[in-house]
Each structure stands twice: as structure tokens, then as C-alpha cells.
Structure 1
Amino acid sequence: MSSNLDREFLERIKKLEQKLGYVFKDKNLPLTALTHSSFAAEYHKEIKDYEVLEFLGDAVLSLIVSEILIKTFPEASEGELSQTRSAVISEAYLSRLARILGLNELVLLSRGEIAQKGMERESLLCDVFESVFGAVYVDCDYDIKIPREIFNRFFKDYLIESIKKGNIPRDYKSILQIMTQRLFGVVPKYSMVSAEGPEHEKIFTMECSVDNVVRTFGTGKSKKEAETEAAKKAYFYLKERYKDKKKRI
């Protein structure tokens, strides 16, 4: 263990190791993974921030998630796999996993960032989550076996359940279009049904139709929000109706 690391840092590193179930050989790696650039600029000694490890961790997680998707949904098309992976490797979803792991309690931030509740920002939590997996990957001499094992132990079942229940941030208009083109050779059509309420707080209702197969409706504070809701309903209807045709995501 590096003797020049402050006790506060060593305590955070130990907490991270306990959460991961992994002991780092190089204690500077987890410290870097938890260090935001604002803290590095404010700290009285030279210290690295997590940006490079974040870059590496993004690629590591992308591969791990790709493996899970291909093994779990072997009949899914490239388009479906790509859309799902993008939803999982997103700020909204990875920040959720970071909170489950408790990384918001460990990240090192400047006083200003702490005052602005930076530890709760999705973008920051996503970055820290990626950097932690980047740190593990480097510590394992760039062998993905242990990062994969850690991710699968904590998140594989949760991830698969999230996908099956539609509990991931997805562009439902895009994935519905991929589905309808594959099944019917057509794209969904959207039309406005109504716009009710005062000008500054209208509620829109939009219709989504796919030939004579399905018609769904969605409401929202904007046309886009309402269309997305309608597309989501159509997607899950078609997914259930045609599930026996091919095993899809």
C-alpha cells in the first residue's frame, strides 16, 4: 500500500474495495477513479482525476454489456442489440448502477461541487462508475475477466430484468421503427389527437399507428413526449404479440 496516501483516501479506497469485493494491488488506481477534476484542482498536492480511467471504463463496460445481451437474447437483431446497449451504457442507467454501488458516497469533489450536490448528478455518477471499472481493468493487467465477474455478480440479473420489464431509458420511437420495418416493411405513423389546457401547460395526446396492426395513444407535456409514450405502448404490444415468431428483446 502506498505510504504517501492520506488516511482519508485510504478509508475511501477500503470502502470501495469492500463494495466491489476486490482488493486493488495499486491503491493509486481506485483513488484516481474516485477523484473529480474539481477536487484535483483544489487539493494541495498533485493528484490525478478520473477522466482517462473513465474513457477506458466506457469501453470495458460496453464489451461486458454486449456479451450479456448476445448471450441472453441470441435471436435479437444487430439493431435491437445496439439500441439496448446504448440505453444501458447511458448516463441515466449507469448513474442508477453507481447509486446501487454507493459511489455517490465515495467520490472526491471540491467544496463548490459538494455545495451544488455534484455527487447526485447523473453525468458525474456515470463517469465515476465507468472510471471504477477502468481502474479494476488496469489493476488486472488489462484482463477483462475480473471486471466482468464483478459486474455480473452485482448487476447482470438486475440488468436483464430491467430490459425485460422495459425499465431502461430507451428511444422507443427508434426501436419501434426497427421492429415494424423488420416485421411489416413499414414505419409507424404519428398524428395529433388533441392539445388541451392553457397555452403554457398544454397536454398533448398523440396517436401511433402501424398499418392496420396496432393503434396506441400517448399523452405528455409536448408532442415528442406523447409520441414516445404511444410508441412505447405499441412496441410492447407488438413484442408480446409476435414473441413466438422469433425470440427478440
Structure 2
Amino acid sequence: MKESKKKPVYSAEAKAKVAEFQKQTEFVFTNESLLFEAFTHSSYVNEHRRKSFIDNERLEFLGDAVLELAVSQYLFHRYPKMTEGELTKLRASIVCEPSLVHLANELDLGSYILLGKGEENTGGRNRPALLADVFEALVGALYLDQGLDKVTELLETVMFPKVEVGAFSKVSDYKSQLQELVQQDNSGQLKYEIIEEKGPAHNRIFISQVSLDAEPLGEGSGRSKKEAEQQAAQLAIQKLKADE
């Protein structure tokens, strides 16, 4: 006889997070285990190996495709005179990391993520890539639980009104934003450098520093060099704007 898979038992804190999210957003899940899974980061699973938890990576994969479909459908009907190339460009500016991070922050998803202690201590709760991933995982979970119409309802609340006012027409990554900011004043030359690598090969953390004419502007960390550079650029932008 085949042994049934052990059902994950989440802590009272995790249950409280899921309950609070549903209360705040009024998106009530029929199958709450999908919402738990959407909020479970791989670092949490790795630190609770005997608990049968499932991380959100598969839901993220599904959510990415569902999000692209929902946004494509919306743009197709909303802008009948746009060419295929224009629609593709607009969709890319909407379904990109910076915009998904913004939406994740609007929903305060960082507060609900279940993280391992190591990830928590290295600022994982505020990592752009992690926040974008959890938004996609939430979309995937909502799709499985209640279908595409419910996903569209979520996007009509947090995303589509921003498209209407052109909020995504100028979306770019932090490195591009920093480059534009520097060019405005002809301030000098930007340089990115990986100044440190920490952790084992399977769990490497990169530390990047961005400098303007050899003067350090910001440091960022991430699981990849690209992510670390993006975070460094984000902090550099904040510094330059604060100095204005």
C-alpha cells in the first residue's frame, strides 16, 4: 500500500500571516495550502526539512505564465489600435521585476513571506527578486484556487489602474535609472564591482559596489551578480536624491 504524503504543519505564526493576508486583501482561498505554499521560500524549507513544506518555486513558474496571459488579454482588449510590437513592449514594461516589486510592496507581501533565518538575516525580506517571485507565486496560487477571472480581479485592483495612468510607460531597472540620473548632470562615469562573495557555492551571496568616478555610491547584496548590482544601484539613487 502506498504511503500517503505527510501534510505540512505550519506554525501558529505562519497561520496568522496567511489569515491576516486574506483579511487585508479580501481574497479568501478555498485551498489555503496553496497560499501557504506561495509564501514559503526555499530557505524556509531547507531549515525545516522534516516538516514536508513545499517552496513557492513551482507556483512562481506557473504565476509567471498566468500573469503574462492576463496582462496580454487586458492589453489586447484595452488598446485595439496598438501594433503587436507596441503591445509586446508595453507588456514587458509591466511584467518586469521593478514593477512586480512595486506591486508586492503595495500588498505588503514582504511581511508574509516565510523565510529561513539565514535569508532573513541577510535582508531577504526586502530583496527585489524575492518580492517579485512571491508576487508571481501568489498569482499562480490564486489561479489554481479560483481561476483566471480571480487573477484578473486582483490585477484590476493593483495593476491595471496604473497602466491606465501610464505608470509603466517609463519603468526601467535601477541600473538604467541610475545611468539616466548621472547623465542629467554629466556627473561622471559609473563602475560596478563585485567586492565580496560569501557563503558556500550552492548558496553564494554577492556584494556589489557602484562608484561614480571612483567615489562609492552604494553597496548591494544578492544571490546573483545582477541582483547585487541592481540593489547597489537602488541605494545609489536614494543617496543621490537625498543629496540634492
Question: Is residue 133 of structure 2 the alignment partner of residue 132 of structure 1?
Answer: no
1:32 corresponds, among 26, 30, 37, to 37
TM-score w.r.t. length of structure 2: 0.65
CA distance in 1, matches of 2:30, 2:125: 27
Q: Deviations over 1:47-66 (max 9, x none)?
A: 00000100111111111111
Q: How far did 1:147 drift? A: 1.1
Q: Which stretches in structure 2 are left out of the alignment for 5+ residues?
A: 1-6, 174-185, 192-211, 214-244
- Name the counterpart of 1:169: 172
2:156 corresponds, among 152, 158, 167, to 152
Q: How far did 1:160 drift? A: 2.5
- Name the counterpart of 2:65: 59
- Name the counterpart of 1:178: none
Structure 2 contact 101–128 (Cα < 8 Å) conserved: yes
CA distance in 2, matches of 1:104, 1:84: 26
Q: How far did 1:80 drift? A: 1.1
Structure 2 contact 47–116 (Cα < 8 Å) conserved: yes
CA distance in 2, matches of 1:97, 1:133: 12
Which amino acid counterpart does residue 172 of structure 2 have in structure 1?
P
- Name the counterpart of 2:25: 20
Structure 1 contact 13–30 (Cα < 8 Å) conserved: yes
Classify the secondary structure of the residue corresponding to 1:47. Answer: coil
- Name the counterpart of 1:116: 122
CA distance in 2, matches of 1:198, 1:85: 31
Q: How far did 1:159 drift? A: 2.8
CA distance in 2, matches of 1:59, 1:199: 35
Classify the secondary structure of the residue corresponding to 2:75. Answer: helix
Q: How far did 1:149 drift? A: 1.0
Q: 1:196 to 1:57 in 2, by over 3 A?
A: closer
Q: How far did 1:91 drift? A: 1.0
Structure 1 contact 137–147 (Cα < 8 Å) conserved: yes
1:41 corresponds, among 32, 40, 46, to 46
CA distance in 2, matches of 1:49, 1:11: 18
Q: 1:198 to 1:124 in 2, by over 3 A?
A: closer
Structure 1 contact 88–169 (Cα < 8 Å) conserved: no
Question: Is residue 13 of structure 2 the alignment partner of residue 8 of structure 1?
Answer: yes
Structure 1 contact 95–126 (Cα < 8 Å) conserved: yes
Classify the secondary structure of the residue corresponding to 2:68. Answer: helix
Question: Is residue 75 of structure 2 the alignment partner of residue 69 of structure 1?
Answer: yes
Residues 218-233 of structure 1: pairs in structure 2 closer than 5 A: none
Q: How far did 1:3 drift? A: 9.8
Structure 2 contact 8–53 (Cα < 8 Å) conserved: no
Q: Which stretches in structure 1 are left out of the alignment for 5+ residues?
A: 171-194, 203-249
Structure 1 contact 57–131 (Cα < 8 Å) conserved: yes
Q: Deviations over 1:145-175 (max 9, x none)?
A: 11111211232112322447x34228xxxxx
- RMSD of aligned alpha carbons: 2.6
- Name the counterpart of 1:50: 56
Q: Mark the structure with the bigger radius of gyration.
A: 1
Q: 1:27 to 1:198 in 2, by over 3 A?
A: closer
Q: How far did 1:76 drift? A: 1.0
